[in-house]
Amino acid sequence: MTKAITEDEVVSVIEKAVQEHGAAREAVIPILSAVNHAFGFIPREAFSEIRRLVHDPETGLFLADSQLYSVASFYQLLSLSKLGRHVVRFCESAPCHVMGGREVIQTLEDELGITPGETSIDNKWSLIMTSCLGICSVGPVFIVDEDVYGNISPEQVHEILELYE
Amino acid sequence: MAIRFMVLISNDPASMERGAGAVLQAFQDHLVKSGITDTVSLNTISDLPNREDLPMVIIYPEAVVYGPVKPEDVHVIIEEHLVKGNIVPGLLAVMHGPIPEVSWLSNRKGALPAQKRIVLERAGVIDPESIEDYIVHDGFLALGKALTEMTPADVVGEVEKAGLQGRGGAGFPTGRKWSFVVSAPGEPKYVICNADESEPGTFKDRLILEGDPFSIIEAITIAGYAVGAQEGYIYIRGEYPLAYRRLENAIAQAETYGLLGNQIFGRNFDFHIHLHAGAGAYICGEETALIESIEGKRGMPRARPPYPPTYGLFGRPTVVNNVETLANVPPIIRNGAAWYHQFGSPKSVGTKVYTILGNVNFTGLIEVPMGITLREVINIYGKGMKNGAKLKLVQTGGSSGSIVPASLQDTPMDFESFRKAGASLGSGALLVCDDQTCVVDLAKTLMQFFRFECCGKCTPCRIGTLKSYEIIKKISEGKAELSDLDLLQNLGAIMTEVSNCGLGQTASTAALDILKHFRGEVEAHITSPACPVGVCPIVVAAPV
């Protein structure tokens, strides 16, 4: 059972991000990325806190919830919903596909028991399809959390997944 | 060891009937015995016409054709030609006039296309986290020369004279782009390095950023000096955290050494670089979408004109250059434009980094002078097709690139020749596909990518990619009709002409090329219906 995220934690991550990237419209994506990196997703509380800090009536700097939601929902590396403990990102672009991707994704789906976009019931795994990750010469490729696996054959899938608790 | 000879042995059915297999074996055995395997690239060629002098052995760079060749002739060819460099007159094939299938041979006569690493010279050689190592390897010499011996106009002029063209995919002349920004009204001006590399199959910029990050720092500073900007942005995709960290480190070290920041080299020139990480969006590689993203918004391309040189970041004149393009700038400044013209051809100067992927034995990347052919890349650098499979097509330039059928594999890869052949070089990704690749399955994967990455702003792309994907999926399931191909063609034409940005304009390129070159295979999925290669999930209802 993962521990619930407190509002204080969210505030502290955002304050740190604003210090590093500034309190300006241009800093919105780096700030959202920092929040996503800290919690694995962007909690709803984050928006009001970002609005509070990136706010300057004198210069007309004001962020609406819709603008924050608009940015957070556009970018693939940002998630607005909680994901599993471990996130598997599988590349579905043409190079990995041509180099044997079809068999690997089928094995992944069978092993994890979920289809792309889903999180397993025990909350251990989320499976996400991504576009090209830029490691194409060792395709097929997938990433688990921040670990990159290349040159994968279907037989290796089980042994890789076993490494994660 | 550099490859000195490329040997092609014909292995089409007629040649095999006449003993080509034994000839190939004899070559393999004798090359080992003579100890020159490292300098000879041994390959097969399967598209020669049926003639009485098969099997043939083609050797170049001399562009010599031997035939008919028997196994006992092989050691003579090796000893005389490959070891001593003497052509063997008695074994030459009698050529009855030029044969179209090998006319490419005389075009390629001369030196074999060896690698020439300009932008990748230091990658893998130096410690990418050490400024001292960079300096020892000619680092910051170009910046020093530019700031102390050249005016900004001199720098722009040198890049223009060098004929450098954009390496991100569009191929726009770099010097010309810079001169637009120089003359555009408005302050301050900006330089942006587009490190969002997301074109499937492309990872050349990753290698430059991770292996030689200081070169980009130096290059963007030179660009700033040339166009009159004091601030630069490097927009790097979120999926490249190592490159981000190395650039961060490079910026910090350069500032400590006074090679970045205020009064660089003690001159009246300040330049500061901001790093900005993307968050996962292919469309942010489009220059105006990238600018929108830096400004903290959804990465949706702007209507153009105006273009970034007149209205860019925060509405100011902005240069946006690809990583590989910028990486060519310090060598050009250091060695001069005339030096750069040694490589490539007059209209396609310099080198290009190609990433080799797909069904070849050796995947990876190379940097070669412009003008190499696909046959040479596959045979010499890819070390031939995997499992001896037959080449079917190569997609050049990533998922938005052209489908080049095997019959066009001898077209020199430069901007001009490819344009004439109706194809585009793009980012330099080369996806090599063998005959186990189904073109419908490939088209489906490609259109799925564009459907997913479409930003949604303009109708032709938003609806077009969705509808095109649905049609291709129907074809792959054996549920389409021939009229669906007309619809696909029509949709593709509309998207190409009317979409707001390059994504929509190139989303249908592959599908349209596939309809042009492989129509029969597509139609088989409709009329039989069957997938000739056996990949698509076509379920034919059992007869009642």
Q: How many angstroms separate the Cα of B403 from the Cα of each of A4, B397, B531?
A: 51, 9, 19
Which chain A residues are closer than 8 Å to B442 by Cβ? 94, 97-98
Which chain B residues are closer than 8 Å to A70 by Cβ? 297-298
pLDDT of A107 strictly over 60: yes
Cβ distance of B281 and A33 shorter than 8 Å? no
d(CA B70, CA B26): 9
Alpha helices in A2-143 (DSSP H): 7-21, 28-39, 45-53, 65-74, 94-96, 102-112
Cβ distance of A30 and B277 shorter than 8 Å? yes
d(CA B143, CA B122): 17
Instruction: Quote the tokens at residue A29.
Output: 């994506």
Alpha-carbon gap: B203 to the closest alpha carbon of chain A (Å)? 5
Q: Is B192 left (phi over 0), alpha (psi -120 to 50) or beta?
A: beta
pLDDT of B542 strictly over 80: no
Q: Which of B296, B356, B448 faces A29 most closely, judged by CB atoms? A: B296
Instruction: Quote the tokens at residue A15.
Output: 């304050």
Cβ distance of B296 and A92 shorter than 8 Å? no
pLDDT of B101 strictly over 50: yes
pLDDT band at B179 (very low <50, low <70, confident <90, very high): very high
- The b/e string for A116-126 (b: 16+ C-beta within 10 A; e otherwise) is beebeeeeebb
Q: How many angstroms separate the Cα of A120 from the Cα of each of A115, A117, A126?
A: 9, 10, 6
Pairing of strands B57-60, B40-45: unpaired
List, in order of start, the domains of chain B with CATH numbers.
5-107 (3.40.30.10), 131-338 (3.40.50.11540), 344-432 (3.10.20.600), 439-527 (1.20.1440.230)
Cβ distance of A33 and B429 shorter than 8 Å? no
Cβ distance of A95 and B298 shorter than 8 Å? no
Residue B100: per-residue pLDDT: 56
Cβ distance of A25 and B199 shorter than 8 Å? no
Cβ distance of A98 and B431 shorter than 8 Å? yes
Taking residues B287-302, what's their average pLDDT?
Answer: 96
Residues counted in chain A: 165
Cβ distance of B442 and A94 shorter than 8 Å? yes
B465 HSE (CA, 13 A, CB side): 25
pLDDT of B1 strictly over 60: no
Question: What value does the mean pLDDT of chain B take?
Answer: 92
Which chain B residues are closer than 8 Å to A87 by Cβ? none
Which chain A residues are closer than 8 Å to B294 by Cβ? 26
Which chain A residues are closer than 8 Å to B298 by Cβ? 70-71, 74
d(CA B541, CA B544): 9
Q: Which of A29, A71, A98 faces B359 most closely, judged by CB atoms? A: A98
Residue B50: per-residue pLDDT: 74
B208, B357, B465: which to substitute to probe chain A, counting the most A Cβ within 10 Å?
B357
| Report for B222-226, B367-371, B386-390: range of highest mean pLDDT | B222-226
Which chain A residues are closer than 8 Å to B299 by Cβ? 74-75
A29, A68, A146: which to substitute to probe chain B, counting the most B Cβ within 10 Å?
A29
B480-512 pLDDT, tens digit per residue, is 999 999 999 999 999 999 999 999 999 999 999
pLDDT of B535 strictly over 50: yes
Instruction: Quote the tokens at residue B443.
Output: 């088209």
B41-90 pLDDT, tens digit per residue, is 888 888 777 777 889 998 877 778 898 999 999 999 999 999 888 888 88
d(CA B164, CA B167): 9
pLDDT of B155 strictly over 60: yes
Cβ distance of B431 and A138 shorter than 8 Å? no
Q: Which of B276, B299, B437 faces A74 most closely, judged by CB atoms? A: B299
Alpha-carbon gap: A28 to the closest alpha carbon of chain B (Å)? 5
**Closest chain A CA to residue B294:** A26
Instruction: Quote the tokens at residue B280.
Output: 């996962």
DSSP B90-147: GGB----S--GGGHHHHHT-SS------STTSSTTTS-TT-HHHHHHTTTTHHHHHHH
Q: Which residue has the higher pLDDT, B109 or B49?
A: B49
Looking at chain B, the whole-number percentage of residues with pLDDT higher than 90 is 78
List, in order of start, the domains of chain A with CATH numbers.
7-74 (no CATH), 86-161 (3.40.30.10)
- The b/e string for A52-89 (b: 16+ C-beta within 10 A; e otherwise) is ebbeeeeeeeebeeebbeebbebbbbbbeeebbbbbbb
Cβ distance of A134 and B446 shorter than 8 Å? no
Looking at chain B, the whole-number percentage of residues with pLDDT higher than 70 is 95
Smallest CA-to-CA distance from B194 within B152, B227, B228, B240 is with B240
* Rounded (10°) angle between helices B241-256 and B213-227: 60
- CB-based contacts of B526: which residues, under 8 Å, 6+ apart? B475, B478, B480, B481, B482, B484, B485
3 state SS of B275: strand
Please report, as a single letter, which amino acid is at residue B366: I
Q: Dmax over Cα atoms in chain B, in whole Å? A: 88
Cβ distance of A77 and B279 shorter than 8 Å? yes
Residue B502: per-residue pLDDT: 95
- H/E run at residue B320: strand B318-322
Chain A positions touching chain B (beta carbons under 8 Å)? 24-30, 32-33, 36, 67, 70-71, 74-78, 92-95, 97-99, 130-139, 146
Residue A1: per-residue pLDDT: 38
Which chain B residues are closer than 8 Å to A33 by Cβ? 238, 277, 279
Cβ distance of A77 and B299 shorter than 8 Å? no
d(CA B347, CA B266): 38
B127-136 pLDDT, tens digit per residue, is 999 999 999 9
**Residue B520: exposed, middle, or buried by beta-carbon count in 10 A (0-12, 13-18, 19+)?**
exposed
Alpha-carbon gap: A101 to the closest alpha carbon of chain B (Å)? 11
**Residue B197: exposed, middle, or buried by beta-carbon count in 10 A (0-12, 13-18, 19+)?**
buried
d(CA B352, CA B354): 6
3 state SS of B406: helix
Taking residues B275-295, what's their average pLDDT?
Answer: 96
B363, B365, B396, B509: which to substitute to probe chain A, counting the most A Cβ within 10 Å?
B363
